[in-house]
Amino acid sequence: MSEIKDKFYNYIQKLQNAITERLELADGSATFKEDVWLRPEGGGGKSRVIENGRVFEKGGVNISAVHGELPQSMQSYFGVEEANFYACGLSLVIHPLSPMVPTVHANWRYFEMYNKDGKIVDQWFGGGQDLTPYYLFEEDARHFHEVCKRGCDNHHPEFYSKYKEKCDEYFWNSHRDEARGVGGLFFDYCKATDKMSMQDWYNFVTEIGDSFLEAYLPIVDKRKDMDYNDEQRTWQEIRRGRYVEFNLVHDKGTLFGLKTNGRIESILMSLPPHVQWKYNHKPDEESPEAQLLEVLKHPKRWA
């Protein structure tokens, strides 16, 4: 087992504390409820969920560290036999009450795989953060992406453009031919190379994690007290339906959690509490809702 594993787990514990404290301050009413759980096959986690707040209708900031024998389905996925694994990470999804405040998702994770002698045969980092607005404020999208870009630029001049493009590709509802939101960063299988050690990857991933609050909270503060009406709330719930579709149909993290007997409440905490599916719903042309859809069908470069 590597010392990177222990260092990263300590990091996500501290990051969970920092993020939940700042989100509670931003909400000003609700607090996170903590749920500590154990996985029978090995490991466990700490889920923190906020509900029915003044600003946040539902959100979760979860950490986990699980280990054991890699299930048969995942052995086939990775093309290995009789492997053991260790995986730890922080995953969060925040669904605000107001349709003027965007939903946000972020995830930072580390994975190790071992042979039958317990030797590490593979290890990598992954993660990212992305923004899902219901009404498009271009300055918010630019701010979110500029923070992401600054963090990337400190480590490699091509990281932002590369991981922004991967985010647009990954969070794509192919059955709808549209993006889930306005993107951000997505990176996976970040392994040691001649140019990047695992320590270098650790430094990159933790800088992105540390930048999350700077990317998201100024947007929350700017939009949380804006007026909205019932029609705008309905639009938010229709768009949340697309969010649910992505997470249940396409998301690899959800699949991994289900395939490795993860805790179902923690895996599905990403789903919003109130959602609508209206048959063949199409917004009026030239409306703010239609303008959002145009950007979702043709992702833009924001930074």
> Does a structural domain hold residue 9?
yes
Asked whether residue 235 is assigned to any structural domain, the reply reads: yes
Q: Is 145 a catalytic residue?
A: no
Output the domain CATH number for residue 234.
Answer: 3.40.1500.10
Per the residue annotation, which of 105, 156, 175, 298 is the catalytic one?
105
What pLDDT shows up at residue 182?
98
In a domain, 7, yes or no: yes
296 within a domain of the structure (yes/no)? no
In a domain, 63, yes or no: yes
Cβ–Cβ < 8 Å for 89, 208: no
Residue 285 lies in a domain: yes
Q: Is residue 218 part of a domain?
A: yes
Tens of pLDDT, residues 147-170: 999 999 999 999 999 999 999 999
Is the residue at 299 inside a domain? Answer: no
Confidence at residue 81, expressed as pLDDT on a 0 to 100 scale: 77
- Half-sphere exposure (CA, 13 Å, Cβ side) for 48? 20
Reported as a single tens digit per residue, the pLDDT across 246-288 is 999 998 888 877 877 778 888 888 899 999 999 999 999 999 9
This prediction's pTM: 0.94
pLDDT for the residue 1: 47
| Domain encompassing residue 228 | 3-134+191-290
In tens, the pLDDT along 5-30 reads 999 999 999 999 999 999 999 999 99
Residue with token string 């998201």: 216
Q: In angstroms, what CA-CA distances link 41 with 65, 66, 113?
A: 12, 8, 16
User: Is the predicted pLDDT of residue 96 greater than 70, yes or no?
Assistant: yes
Number of domains in the chain: 1
pLDDT in tens, 53-95: 999 999 999 999 999 988 777 777 777 777 899 999 999 999 9
